[in-house]
Every structure is written in C-alpha cells, then in structure tokens.
Amino acid sequence: MIPLVLTLIIITVFLLSSLFIYVLIYSRENFKSSSSPFAYGKRRIKYVIQPSMNIITRRLSTYRSSFSIHHDSNLTKPNQTRSYSCANNLSVVKYPHRRRSSIIDSKQIAQIQFEVPLTAEKYRRRSVAICNNIIETKQSTIDSIIKTIQSSNQILPCLVSFSIIYLESSQIKIQFHSLTSLLSTIKQLTIKLKLNPDGKAKELSVKNILPDQNIFAEENTEYFIQFSHIPLAKLAEKTLVIKFYGKNQEKKTIQLGQIGKIYFNQIENIENKNQMDFIHEIENIKMSSIEILVSIEKLNDHNLIIDLQRIKGLKHNQKNPNATCFFRIILLDRHRPLTTHETKFYRLNSSTFSLQESCHFNILSFNSNHLDRLIIRIDFYSNINDTNEHHYIGRIKLGSPYICSGSGTIHWQQFKQRHSFSMWHTLIKQ
C-alpha cells in the first residue's frame, strides 16, 4: 500500500513541475516577442473605421484652422508683388521672445528655383533708360537726333547716314541714306570717296537740291558707290575717306567738310555680308599743333572716367601773360549731348604743362553691347588772343567707327579691349 501511495506522489510532483516549467517558458517567449522592435510590424492593425483620403484631409484642415486661429496675430502675409517661386507658400511666424533664425537652411534655399513672372516690367524697382541697338539708324533715327539737339539749344551738326556692305563678288558697296542740316545755298552736292592704300577714288553727284530736302530718300537705292576687286584677306588693310563738296547758285565750289579715316579692321562682322550702318558728322578737319594726353577707364560697369593728363604744343603769348584756358568734356549718345563737365582754368604760361583733370560719367544705361553709341568730345577754350572772352579753339572726339573717325576710334577700340587706355590726340581746329 505504501509503495503505491509513494508512486502516486512522485507522479503528481513530476506533472506539477512539468506544468510549472512549461508555463514559465511560455511566459518568457511572450515577453520577448512583445518587447521586440518588429512586434508592431508583425501585428495587424485593426481599424474601427476604414481609413480614406477624405478623413486625412478633414483631420489636416481641422488642425490647420485651429493653428491659424491661435497664431493669426503673428502671421506675416507674403508679398503678392514678388515673383513666383517655390518659397511663396512659406510664412514667417514672429515670436518676440525667441532668437531670430532662418526658416530655411542655406543649403535648401540654394536649391529653390525662382522664375521671373510674365509681367515683370510692372514691378521694376528702378527706372533705367534702355538703349536701342546701334544698328537702328536711317532717317527716323537722324530725325530724333536732330529734335533732341534742337530742344537742348545746341548747334545742329551736319549729319550723314550711310551703310557699308561687303558683297560675295569681292565688292564694297557704300549706300547713302540721309543727310541733314545742309546749307540752304547749296544747289549741287558732290561726294568723293577714296579707298586707301590702293588709292581708288570714286564720286557721286546730286543736282537740283531743294532747301530742307532729304537728299537721300530711304526708299531710293540709286545713291551708292561700289569698289570692285577687294579680296576678303586684304579688307582689314583698307581705310575709307569721304569728302563733301557743294556748289551754290553762282556755281562756286564750296568744301563742306569730310569724314576722316574709317578703318575696316575696326568694323565687326563686315566679312559676313552684313549691312553695317553709320552716322557721322561732316567736319572741317584742320590739324593743330596742340596735343592732349587723354585716359579712359571703365569702373564697375557703371562709371566712365575721363582723365586729362597733359597738354603740349601750346603757343605762349608774351603780350598776354594772364591768358588762361579750360576744357569742356561732353558725353554724347549718337551726337546727342547727355552730360557736360567743365574743368578749372589753367594759366597759359608754358607750352607744356600737366592737367590732372578727371571727371566721372554714369553709364549705367549703356551695357557692353551699347557702348558704341557713346561719344566723348573734349572742347578746348582759350583767351590767348583776347583778354576778355574765351574762344572755342578746337576739339577731340573719341568713339566707335560707326559714329566717329580718325585716331579717336583707335583709342576707343583699345579702351574696350583693356577697360583702361591712355593716348595722345591732336586737337582739330574749328
């Protein structure tokens, strides 16, 4: 009997211990699985209501409206006049007790692409005169030049517009378009053209000229001259001089003036059969013994600095020891005066002396493509022959070959290439 009871007790203890061990192991496994980071990934989320985009949008709008009500007084409205960009939807929240910081990281702001709106001209912050192309010449441009000069009470120059074309048949064609401010007594006009260094010369005559008549009508194509047998390889070696002569009612020949040397190596793209347009002033060119050292410098694309450094070749009048002189520096836009600068007076007690006179012109409206519209004219005044009044002695003109001629165009080309250049110029008597 006793062995049977002992056997039952042992079996019961064994079963209870097995059950205890099983429960302990199972509870540990459940604890590990619940604490694992992948437990949520293995579980299936149960929703009371199936999710949809309407519910998400409703929740976001509710949150946004509550947030805007709470912070409505601190929100800054974006500037509606600014150009469209990816950052337009960003709003800056001002917290008075918080340190200022950027709402966007510098690396992120560099990646934002800005676009200029179609109505950008409506919101321009600065009004700047925009220049037209240098090729806009012809009669309409000359008329506007004349009107501007008349409104400024300046002496009207005698202007002529013409074009030069290099043809495929190795010919140079010079076509005349307009001539203004010609003397009313002139009844016949003769234009003589000379191509150097080969010395080819041709002339063009216009008869029965009426007062205030546009001699070269734009639609008229008969007023032109051609030079033949000009190889393209030798085109850069050529220079052109144009002289104008007139006859009055008594058939007396009058020398009206000339256009100085036009250097073909300074004319851009003429070899591509393009029509290159010119507006030049007809001048009486008489060289004097006076020379002036002039420097031109372009500063920061906004300022043009003209520096008069030295003068030589002056005639000293011992009878007038108190004689003085001064310079007037004029900036012109295709022969229309823009700005004038007058220097101080200098004693003419020596034939050579230093000037060290500089002036600054604002050329913000003229970018690199429109610099060839500008002319720098330096007028020289002196009272060496009169103790009371200063008289106009002569001048120097610097500019592109499209509107100037002579050594002033050489100085201008060097200045455009180097942004600063000094050169001696001979004063032209007027």
Please say whether the beta carbons of 166 and 172 come within 8 A.
yes
Q: Which helix (H) or strand (E) holds 398?
A: strand 391-399
Which residues does residue 360 pair with via DSSP β-bridges, in sequence order?
305
Preceding omega of 211 cis (within 30 degrees of 0): no
What tokens does 299 get? Answer: 């500063």
Phi, psi torsion values for 101, nearest 5 degrees: -155, 165
Spell out the residues 6+ positions from residue 93 whose beta carbon is closer than 8 angstroms to its own. Answer: 71, 74, 75, 76
Phi, psi torsion values for 171, nearest 5 degrees: -120, 150
Give the pLDDT mean for 292-306: 89
- The answer, yes or no, to whether residue 72 has pLDDT greater than 90, is no
- The answer, yes or no, to whether residue 124 has pLDDT greater than 50, is no
Nearest to 142 by CA among 283, 281, 331: 281
Domains of the chain (ranges, CATH numbers): 138-281 (2.60.40.150), 286-429 (2.60.40.150)
- The answer, yes or no, to whether residue 43 has pLDDT greater than 60, is no
- Tell me the pLDDT tens digit for each residue of 143-174: 666 666 656 556 678 888 899 999 988 999 99
Q: Which helix (H) or strand (E) holds 188?
A: strand 188-196
Q: How far apart are CA 287 and CA 297, in angstroms?
A: 26
Looking at per-residue pLDDT, the higher value among 186 and 148 belongs to 186
Most confident of 96-105, 114-123, 402-411: 402-411
Q: How far apart are CA 110 and CA 104, in angstroms?
A: 10
pLDDT confidence tier of residue 278, bands split at 50, 70 and 90: very high
List the single range of 47-56, 278-287, 289-298, 301-310 with lowest mean pLDDT: 47-56
Q: Return the pLDDT at 137.
A: 42
pLDDT > 90 in the chain, percent: 31
- The answer, yes or no, to whether residue 1 has pLDDT greater than 90, is no
What tokens does 387 get? Answer: 């103790």
pLDDT confidence tier of residue 269, bands split at 50, 70 and 90: confident
Q: Return the pLDDT at 238.
A: 93
What tokens does 395 get? Answer: 């001048």
Nearest to 221 by CA among 167, 177, 275, 165: 177
In 300-373, at which residue ranges do the beta strands (DSSP E only) sit? 303-312, 324-333, 336-342, 346-347, 353-362
Phi, psi torsion values for 148, nearest 5 degrees: -65, -40
Kindly report the pTM of this predicted structure.
0.64
Please say whether the beta carbons of 348 and 384 come within 8 A.
yes
List the single range of 20-34, 77-91, 237-251 with lowest mean pLDDT: 77-91
pLDDT > 70 in the chain, percent: 67
Q: How far apart are CA 239 and CA 127, in angstroms?
A: 41
Give the number of other CB atoms < 10 A from CB of residue 93.
10
